[in-house]
């Protein structure tokens, strides 16, 4: 307790610190401007969307268990793949990390709350409406759009009203993200405690600062792309219609100018979480803090000039292909630096493997595998063979699931004691990790083989030679989906009846939320701010 | 112990599956594909070396630097020399890879001086092929999935080439440089034959090109690889590579067939002749959306059974089939011959609950062409 005696956060615990001011019950959550409440809502929303998207994934894998059409028709299959992608990217992964940002950034920089507290409330409460639009689209005539999460023109023009609902949902999600990132950037730049210089911030804050800028830069681009789709559909424009002087490939350029930075919008906060967890369980400071910051910035800048590597088969001029190939392989350098730094942090540490560390190691191992297949795909001739096959599906699930999702799990188990004041059941956490790890690889590793052998992605039925891989992959997917019930149980059990957590349950954790605040954290913290000079 | 047994058994099962199933790039049948495979193998060797290197350190650390074996944490957290080394070395490796890859990229793009130029047009959901230049110039046909619906819906056992068989295969001569122009009639498709290392998106309103020189005879199978709507998974690409002599023979046969077809365009038919031919045309071109029952898919694809178009004036029906309906999946079918169109329209007007009674003749269709 000695570390927390002198903090005002602790003093507040006796005053109004433990109580949300104003309303109780449901109105507390609707009207709240508290960063911790909003962070909690983001995280639960994200879990709900993760479950919805997961059920869709299992339906997809059920259809693909055997060749032939059994469970869903091809139209509905396309709707499922589209919505699985959109919901997982915009509904599950992105809100999860905004939830972490809300909870942690004020505590890690010694600020009392986020800079724009009311806007913070608004940026969360847009999300349920956006998600409802996406889900309602299944029930309108023609169903949800079956165009893939990339929404390529001109297929979008053939869709029913579900496409319009999806376009509006993307607008809303974009508004939410932009407001969220303006808030995060402003908070980090203006509200750090005295003495908390930028280069003293925990790496999680750094990765979010950079992610915030990426979001502000590219979400309007996506909004532009879907708005042009909307006017092409209804108002007679021809942005993406060659017959009217437009170009379908223009859509792909605009989409991927958003889409590639989006990959890092998802990955960078995950890097941030892992950069907090690995040093804590290695009992050793993060290796190469400054080079981590520079590498993160380099990745963010490079992410703006590599977008067309998603489009090697559209028929670019040879100079275009070479430029985007060289730029893409260049990203391997700063990404490599990060991986080496994490391994060097573990090197000669004093390691223990509680659940957060297990997930962080799982992240490091599998994300790097995804990085390697990324290197393979960055090379134009090989990509031309593998583009739009299951190899790509495997690659981006190694990056998105084993990357972002594993990091999110690591973060949840890591900070859950701080947030709730209670410990999760270590045994349950470990079971969750191993089940997820094993089933993830059963699901996705074999997809590399299916892709190499030539199985296209987004098909509801497939030739017989791909049957073995698809059977294995489907079994893995059901296993991985069911394993997440263990996670839900572990979290609920922790909140309801977990053992009381000490102020600093992790020996090696060293950021402000561990060293300067009690467990559980009071409702209001760091008001006034701590002096760290 | 139990866990180890389980993992071991799983490993064995996976190895067994790997041997039983296709798990690597399909055998190459062109120089380009051979180059791509070589590059892929070289990069994989590099990746495995890096993998063992990086994770050797990580797993050694996990093994030897555990708190439970009493390892004390050292507190170093910076080393400029090491950091420069692990920035510069990967950069150098990338430069080394770049050279051979660049050569293949440039070769892939060189579509100059082909022996034979073929246009491949992606349509929802089939491929149209036009032999534009070289031996066989003027040959033109549409290539549609030949797998029966009964196999797809599980009412019949699936054949060896399930989903990878078509009614008209693309035929090309061995050892000749083939240039394929791709375009599309409706949405973006993608033409791919893995054995040739040739993949190119087919973009409506634009023409792109690729090339390959097949170096082994045989039949090579693949599928559309860009999501193009409902039946994206059901538009295969099948290319048969034959010796130049066999190719000349094939061209001769095609020319004879074409002469016969153009004679068909001018004569009149009986209602029954048109209906029975129309049923085949319907099965190849219309059934995917409007369904064998003529009932369509409610909310997505309209029914023909009892529809205003199929029961209204023949001229309107011909117009819709000839010119399509803008911003819907109903495309123009003007590329089909007058006799085929007359047959399918007659079939639609005299099937299910539609009883027009009268036949639409090829001459009627020709009259409505603009």
Tokens coding B329:
């999946």
Cβ contact, residue pair B43, A376, below 8 Å: yes
Give the domain range for residue B220. 116-263
- 3-class state of residue B184 by DSSP: strand
CA A105 to the chain's CA centroid: 17
Q: Quick check: B81 contacting A, CB < 8 Å? A: no
- Is A287 in Cβ contact with B77 (below 8 Å)? yes
Residue-level pLDDT at A16: 43
Closest by CA to A207, choosing from A276, A279, A260, is: A276
Q: Is A66 helix (H, G, I), strand (E, B) or coil?
A: coil
Smallest Cα–Cα separation from B254: which of B128, B137, B116?
B137
Over residues B208-249, the pLDDT tens digits come to 999 999 999 999 999 999 999 999 999 999 999 999 999 999
pLDDT of residue B332: 84
> With 0-12 CB in 10 A as exposed, 13-18 as middle and 19+ as buried, what is B353?
exposed
Flag if B78 and A288 touch (Cβ within 8 Å): yes
Residue among B134, B219, B218 nearest B181 (CA): B134
Cα–Cα nearest to A243, from A253, A234, A232, A256: A232
| Among candidate residues B123, B234, B259, B273, the one with its CA nearest the CA of residue A456 | B234
Q: Provide the 3-class DSSP secondary structure of residue B183.
A: strand
Show the tokens assigned to B129: 């092929």
Catalytic residue from among A123, A176, A296, A473:
A176
Q: What is the pLDDT of residue A366?
A: 95
Rounded CA-CA distance A59/A157 in Å is 26
Residue A513 annotated among the catalytic residues of the structure: no
**Same domain, yes or no: B297 and B195:** no
Reported as a pLDDT band with limits 50, 70 and 90, residue B367 is confident
What are the C-alpha distances in Å from B2 to residues A118, A433, A473, A479, B6?
55, 18, 24, 19, 6
What is residue B4's predicted lDDT score, i.e. its pLDDT?
59
Chain B touched by A337 (CB under 8 Å) = yes
Tell me the range of A16-20, A57-61, B24-28, B260-264 where mean pLDDT is highest.
A57-61
Residue A272 contacts residue A205 (beta carbons within 8 Å): yes
**Mean pLDDT (chain B, rounded):** 89
Kindly report the CATH number assigned to the domain that includes residue B302.
1.10.760.10
Nearest to A296 by CA among A214, A399, A195, A197: A214
Element (H, E) at B128: strand B126-133
Whether B65 and A350 lie within 8 Å, measured CB to CB: yes
Q: B341, B249 in Cβ contact below 8 A?
A: no
DSSP A453-518: HTPBSS-SS--GGGHHHHHHHHHHHHHHHHHHHHHHHHHHHHHHHPPBPPS--STT--SHHHHTS-
Scan for tokens 């790890």, then name that residue: A437
Structure tokens at B87: 């920035």
Among the candidates B219, B241, B263, a domain finishes at B263
Indicate whether B11 belongs to any domain. Answer: no
> Is residue B111 in a domain?
no
- Candidates A453, A460, A476; CA nearest to A67 is A460
Work out the angle at residue A157's Cα, subtended by the Cα atoms of residues A153 and A158, and round it to the nearest 5 degrees. Answer: 115
Confidence band, pLDDT 50/70/90 cuts, at residue B10: low
Percent over 90 (pLDDT), chain B: 59
Whether residues B137 and B195 share a domain: the answer is: yes
* DSSP-assigned states of every residue in A139-186: GSTT-S--STTTT-TTGGGG--HHHHHHHHHHHHHHHHHHHHHHHHHH
- Per-residue HEC secondary structure of A310-369 comes to HCHHHCCCHHHHHHHHHHHHHHHHHHHHHHHHHHHHHCCCCECCCHHHHHHHHHHHHHHH
Tell me if A473 sits within 8 A of A64, measured CB to CB: yes
* Separation in Å, CA of A446 to nearest CA in chain B: 9
Catalytic residue check, A35: no
d(C-alpha A382, C-alpha B101), whole Å: 9
How many angstroms separate the CA atoms of B280 and B271, rounded?
15
Residues B237 and B272 grouped into a single domain: no
B54 touches chain A (CB under 8 A): yes
Contact A381 B104 (CB under 8 A): yes
Is the residue at B85 inside a domain? Answer: no
- Where are the alpha helices (H) located in chain B, listed in sequence order? 2-20, 31-64, 80-109, 149-152, 244-264, 271-285, 287-290, 308-311, 314-323, 338-349, 362-368
Domain final position from B228, B263, B298: B263
What does each C-alpha distance from A101 to A17, A113, A172 come to in angstroms? 21, 11, 20
Is residue B121 scored above 60 in pLDDT?
yes
How far apart are the CA of B106 and the nearest CA of chain A, in angstroms?
7
What is the radius of gyration, based on Cα positions, of chain A? 23
Measure CA A264 to chain center.
9
User: Both tokens of residue A370?
Assistant: 């995804």
Q: Does B204 touch chain A (CB under 8 A)?
A: yes
Contact residues, A window 108-137, toward B, CB-based 8 Å cutoff: none
Structure confidence at residue A20 (pLDDT)? 60
CA distances in angstroms from A520 to A13, A21, A418, listed in the order given? 10, 18, 5
Task: Give the residue carrying structure tokens 């040093």.
Answer: A279
**Hey, what CATH topology would domain A2-515 get?**
Cytochrome C Oxidase; Chain A (1.20.210)
- B42 belongs to a structural domain: no
Length of chain B: 370
Same domain membership, residue B279 and residue B255: no
- Token pair in block for residue B142: 């549409």
pLDDT at B105 over 50: yes
Q: What is the pTM of this model?
A: 0.88
| B91 contacts chain A (CB < 8 A) | yes
Kindly state whether residue B30 falls inside one of the protein's structural domains.
no
Catalytic residue among A8, A12, A171, A260: A260
**Of the residues A35, A36, A84, A397, which is catalytic?**
A84
Q: Are B259 and B269 in the same domain?
A: no
**Nearest alpha-carbon partner for B190 in B109, B240, B142, B122:** B122
In a domain, B211, yes or no: yes
Distance from C-alpha of A521 to C-alpha of A439, rounded to nearest angstrom? 35
Co-location of B130 and B258 in the same domain: yes
Q: What is the DSSP-derived secondary structure letter of residue A112?
A: S
Average pLDDT over residues B23-48: 92
Q: Do B187 and A376 touch (CB under 8 A)?
A: no
Q: Is the pLDDT of residue B297 over 90?
A: no
Q: Are residues B296 and B286 in the same domain?
A: yes
Query: Which of A438, A525, A516, A451 is closest to A478 using CA atoms?
Result: A438
- In this structure, the answer to whether residues B233 and B338 fall within a common structural domain is no
Closest partner CB to A313 (pick from B21, B55, B199): B199
Gap between the Cα atoms of A384 and B108, Å rounded:
10
Q: At which of B218, B245, B263 does a domain end?
A: B263
Work out how many CB contacts closer than 8 A connect A with B.
300
B214 and B337 housed in the same domain: no
A364 phi and psi angles, rounded to 5 deg? -60, -45
Q: What is the pLDDT of residue B6?
A: 62
CA distance B10 to A309: 36
- The per-residue pLDDT for B12 is 57
Mean pLDDT, chain A cut into blocks of 10 residues (533 residues total): 39 46 81 94 97 97 95 95 96 96 96 95 96 95 94 93 96 96 97 95 97 96 97 94 94 96 96 97 95 95 95 95 95 94 95 96 95 95 96 96 95 96 96 97 96 95 94 96 97 94 91 92 90 89
Please check the confidence at residue B2 and state whether its pLDDT lies above 90.
no
B362 within 8 A of B265, measured Cβ to Cβ: yes
Tell me whether residues A348 and B25 touch, CB distance under 8 A: no
Of A247, A313, A344, the CB nearest to B201: A313
* Residue B52 resides in a domain: no
Rounded CA-CA distance B304/B285 in Å is: 14
Q: In sequence order, what DSSP letters do the residues of A20-61 get, joined into one string?
A: -SS--HHHHHHH---HHHHHHHHHHHHHHHHHHHHHHHHHHH
DSSP 8-state code for residue B25: P
In-domain check, residue B51:
no
Residue appearing with tokens 């059990």: A493
Q: What's the number of domains chain B is made of?
A: 2
ipTM: 0.90
Distance, in Å, from the CA atom of A209 to the CA atom of B155, rounded to the nearest integer, reads: 58
């Amino acid at each position: 307790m000695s570390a927390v005696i002198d903090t005002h956060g602790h003093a507040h615990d006796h005053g109004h610190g433990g109580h949300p001011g104003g309303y109780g019950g449901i109105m507390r959550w609707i009207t709240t401007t508290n960063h911790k409440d909003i962070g909690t809502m983001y995280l639960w929303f994200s879990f709900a969307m993760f479950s919805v998207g997961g059920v869709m994934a299992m339906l997809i894998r059920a259809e693909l268990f055997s060749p032939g059409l059994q469970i869903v028709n091809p139209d509905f299959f396309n709707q499922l793949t589209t919505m699985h992608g959109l919901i997982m990217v915009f509904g599950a992964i992105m809100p999860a990390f905004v939830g972490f940002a809300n909870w942690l950034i004020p505590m890690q920089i010694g600020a009392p709350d986020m800079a724009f507290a009311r806007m913070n409330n608004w940026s969360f409460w847009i999300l349920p409406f956006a998600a409802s639009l996406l889900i309602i689209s299944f029930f309108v005539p023609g169903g949800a759009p079956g165009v893939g999460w990339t929404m390529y023109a001109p297929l979008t023009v053939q869709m029913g009203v579900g496409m319009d609902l999806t376009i509006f949902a993307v607008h809303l999600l974009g508004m939410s993200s932009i407001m969220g990132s303006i808030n995060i950037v402003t908070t980090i730049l203006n509200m750090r405690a005295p003495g908390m210089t930028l280069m003293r911030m925990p790496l999680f804050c750094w990765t979010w600062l950079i992610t915030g800028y990426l979001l502000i830069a590219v979400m309007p681009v996506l909004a532009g792309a879907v708005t042009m789709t909307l006017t092409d559909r209804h108002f007679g424009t021809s942005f993406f219609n060659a017959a009217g002087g437009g170009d379908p490939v223009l859509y792909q350029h605009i989409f991927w100018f958003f889409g590639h930075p989006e990959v890092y919008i998802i990955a960078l906060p995950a890097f941030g979480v892992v950069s907090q967890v690995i040093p804590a369980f290695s009992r050793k400071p993060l290796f190469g803090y400054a080079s981590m910051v520079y590498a993160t910035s380099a990745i963010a800048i490079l992410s703006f000039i590599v977008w067309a590597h998603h489009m090697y088969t559209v028929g670019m001029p040879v100079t275009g292909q070479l430029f985007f190939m060289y730029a893409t392989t260049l990203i391997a350098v700063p990404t490599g630096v990060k991986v080496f730094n994490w391994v060097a942090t573990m090197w000669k540490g004093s390691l223990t493997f509680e659940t957060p560390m297990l997930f962080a190691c799982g992240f490091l191992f599998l994300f790097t595998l995804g990085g390697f297949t990324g290197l393979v795909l960055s090379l134009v001739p090989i990509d031309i063979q593998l583009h739009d096959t299951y190899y790509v599906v495997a690659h981006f699930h190694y990056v998105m699931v084993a990357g972002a999702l594993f990091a999110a799990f690591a973060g949840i188990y890591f900070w859950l004691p701080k947030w709730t004041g209670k410990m999760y059941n270590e045994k349950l956490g470990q079971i969750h990790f191993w089940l997820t790890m094993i089933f993830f690889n059963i699901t996705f590793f074999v997809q590399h083989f299916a892709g190499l052998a030539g199985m296209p992605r987004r098909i509801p039925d497939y030739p017989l030679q791909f049957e073995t891989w698809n059977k294995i992959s489907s079994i893995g997917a059901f296993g991985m989906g069911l394993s997440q019930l263990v996670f839900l149980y572990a979290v609920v059990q922790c909140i309801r009846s977990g053992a009381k957590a000490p102020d600093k349950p992790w020996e090696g954790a060293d950021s402000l939320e561990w060293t300067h605040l009690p467990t559980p954290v009071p409702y209001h913290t760091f008001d006034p701010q701590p002096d760290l000079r | 112990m139990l866990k180890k047994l389980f993992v071991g058994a799983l490993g064995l099962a996976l190895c067994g599956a790997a041997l039983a199933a296709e798990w690597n790039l399909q055998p190459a049948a062109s120089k380009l594909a051979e180059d791509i495979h070589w590059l892929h193998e070289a990069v994989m060797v590099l990746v495995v070396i890096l993998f063992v290197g990086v994770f050797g350190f990580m797993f050694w650390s996990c093994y030897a630097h555990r708190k439970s074996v009493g390892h004390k944490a050292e507190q170093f957290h910076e080393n400029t020399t090491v950091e420069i080394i692990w920035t510069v070395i990967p950069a150098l490796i990338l430069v080394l890879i770049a050279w051979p890859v660049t050569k293949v990229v440039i070769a892939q793009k060189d579509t100059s001086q082909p022996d034979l130029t073929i246009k491949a047009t992606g349509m929802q959901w089939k491929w149209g092929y036009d032999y534009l230049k070289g031996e066989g110039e003027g040959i033109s046909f549409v290539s549609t999935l030949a797998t029966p619906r009964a196999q797809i819906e599980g009412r019949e056992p699936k054949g060896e080439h399930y989903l990878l068989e078509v009614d008209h295969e693309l035929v090309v001569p061995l050892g000749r440089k083939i240039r394929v122009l791709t375009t599309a009639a409706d949405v973006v498709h993608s033409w791919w034959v893995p054995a040739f290392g040739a993949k190119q998106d087919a973009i409506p309103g634009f023409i792109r090109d690729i090339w390959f020189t097949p170096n082994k005879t045989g039949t090579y199978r693949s599928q559309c690889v860009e999501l193009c709507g409902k039946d994206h998974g059901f538009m295969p690409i099948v290319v048969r590579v034959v010796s130049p002599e066999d190719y000349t023979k094939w061209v001769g046969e095609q020319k004879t067939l074409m002469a016969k077809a153009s004679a068909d365009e001018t004569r009149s038919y009986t209602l029954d002749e048109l209906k029975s031919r129309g049923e085949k045309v319907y099965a190849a071109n219309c059934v995917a959306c409007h369904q064998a029952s003529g009932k369509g898919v409610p909310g997505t694809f309209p029914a023909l059974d009892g529809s205003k178009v199929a029961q209204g004036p023949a001229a309107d029906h011909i117009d819709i089939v000839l010119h399509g309906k803008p911003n819907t999946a109903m495309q123009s079918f003007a590329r089909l011959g007058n006799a085929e169109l007359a047959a399918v329209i007659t079939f639609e007007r005299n099937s299910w609950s539609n009883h027009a009674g009268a036949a639409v003749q090829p001459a009627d269709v020709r009259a409505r062409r603009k």
